[in-house]
Amino acid sequence: MLEEIQTFTTEYLDKCAHLYVEVFNAEPWNEQWTFETAKTKLFEILNTPGFVGFVFKQDELLGFIAGYCKQGQKSQSFYLEEICVQAHKQHQGIGTKLLNELMDTLTAMKVTEVYLLTNKDGQAEAFYTKHGYQRSQYLILMAKQF
């Protein structure tokens, strides 16, 4: 089977939205996405200035990664908004390949920092920790619900 990593474009929006619903509505996230809300979320990310994203294909779409660059006072950073891999294909290196493709691209763009939000102490945190990410000692997430 031929593996391909391609740029995430609107051509992949529907397939990525279906994958997003499939993955994030299941364990361990148990979220409540619909195809329409997932498609809207991904469309908004895709159309954010500074967008960078990739899809992983192997006969079918198996995963994607997406986020956007942000200008800081001295350099650009990248907010990793989403990474998503089919549940039965996780732990097979697809997420790592997507992350490596992203990092190669960001390095070429002279981006100096990647940051993201994820649940504490879960599979996602373990994945990012394995790839050298650390909990920030400088930032906290604050929220207000209404």
Q: Could you report the average pLDDT of every consecutive run of 10 residues in the chain (146 residues)?
A: 94 98 94 98 98 96 98 94 96 96 97 90 86 87 87
8 Å CB contact between 68 and 78: yes
pLDDT score, position 141? 82
pLDDT score, position 85? 97
Helix (H) or strand (E) holding 42: helix 35-46
Q: Which DSSP string do the residues of 53-107 spell out, in sequence order?
A: EEEEEESEEEEEEEEEEEE-SSSEEEEEEEEEE-GGGTTSSHHHHHHHHHHHHHH
pLDDT score, position 136? 87
pTM score, whole prediction? 0.92
Closest CA to 120 of 108, 133, 110: 133
